[in-house]
Structure 1
Amino acid sequence: MSAPHTDVEQVEATNAAFYEALEQGDFEEIASLWLTPADLGVDESYHDPADAGVISCVHPGWPVLTGRGEVLRSYALIMANTDYIQFFLTDVHVSVTGDTAVVSCTENILSGGPAPKAGEELGPLLGQLVVATNVYRRTPSGWKLWSHHASPVLAENDGAEDPEAPDDTGPSS
């Protein structure tokens, strides 16, 4: 197996682990998947953020979050306020160049109340369609998340006029 093919498989596995940790509410695993200055051999007590590969995250509808503290705090908040979440990833594309990898995908998200126990039906769920770009960086301990950016996909008619709707502007002259 060639090295580039192996890199793609490793990035795919890391990306899958990221979404699985979110589904499981595993904060420790989420934290371990994000890049640290130490992963890059940078002194964590003093460094220039531009040289340290500072992480960033944009959740749908949120402002950009920068740095491990802000990013990990956001995941702790999401996990504390989400009883159930499941991701169905589609349109996954992985590109690796050197020590950087980009994964683009569509997150088909189901979320809602508590996960059902064995034999119980699933309660009402909210579905959301989100496009995401995850940037990974190679470290001595494997691929780590450098940046996650997710944006909602608007329905076809969101923000657009319906061409079939009657014109209610009154008669024209």
Structure 2
Amino acid sequence: MIATFASPADVEAAFYEAIARADLVALMSVWADDEDIVCIHPTGQRLSGTAAIRDSWRSIFANNPRLKVRLSRVLRWNSMLLAVHNVVETLYIGDEQKPHGPMLATNVFQRGTSGWRLLAHHSSTAADRDLADKRAGEREESPPRILH
């Protein structure tokens, strides 16, 4: 059965939950049914297509079966058919309490006949200037912005 996602936020939550469970089937179920899907890991390699993305996550889960990703500084731009979320990812590996990262990530979602799906995920190491403490009053998560 194909999962149906009612919103980009639902897809994003399912994506990161699948990573936490090292569930390759669930992780691949969030992606668009399109050979032009793209995933760029912090290593910088651009992966295009279902097979390449599946193989990369299979390898990641084999080497790090317990990954948890905490999101912060979420910015969202939404329209009727496309949504872009920019987040800061902090990784926790195995039983370690020490955070890894942060990483800057952009997730692009597309609405199709079977609901919302992930079209692209791009994660990269954050530069020092990107890690500066939040300014006083800056929100941890911004409200969605609607594109017309």
Match of 2:23 in 1: 26
- Asked if the contact 1:12–1:94 (Cα under 8 Å) also holds between the matched residues in 2, the reply is no
Q: Is the 8 A contact 1:136 1:144 kept in 2?
A: yes
Corresponding residue SS for 1:70:
helix
Structure 1 stretches of 5 or more lacking a match? Answer: 1-8, 38-48, 113-121, 157-173
Inter-partner Cα distance in structure 2 for 1:126 and 1:106:
12
Q: For the residues of structure 2 that align with 1:149 and 1:123, how far apart are their CA atoms?
A: 25
Q: Partners of 2:49 and 2:69 in 1: how far apart?
A: 25
In 2 relative to 1, CA 99–130 (structure 1 residues): closer, same or farther, beyond 3 Å?
Answer: same
Q: Among the aligned pairs, what percent are the same residue?
A: 30
Which of 128, 132, 153 does residue 126 from structure 2 map onto? 153
Tell whether the 8 Å contact from 1:55 to 1:67 is kept in structure 2 after alignment: yes
Q: Aligned partners of 2:65, 2:106: CA distance in 1, in Å?
A: 25
Q: What's the TM-score once normalised by structure 1's chain length?
A: 0.66
Change (3 A) 1:102 1:123: closer
- Structure 1 residue identity aligned to 2:125: P
Q: Distance in 2 between matches of 1:68 and 1:83?
A: 21
Q: 1:139 to 1:131 in 2, by over 3 A?
A: same
Deviation of the 1:154 alpha carbon: 3.0
Partners of 1:111 and 1:75 in 2: CA distance: 15
Select the structure of larger CA radius of gyration: 1
Aligned length: 124
- Cα-Cα RMSD: 1.8
What residue number does 1:139 align with? Answer: 112
User: Are 1:129 and 2:102 an aligned pair?
Assistant: yes
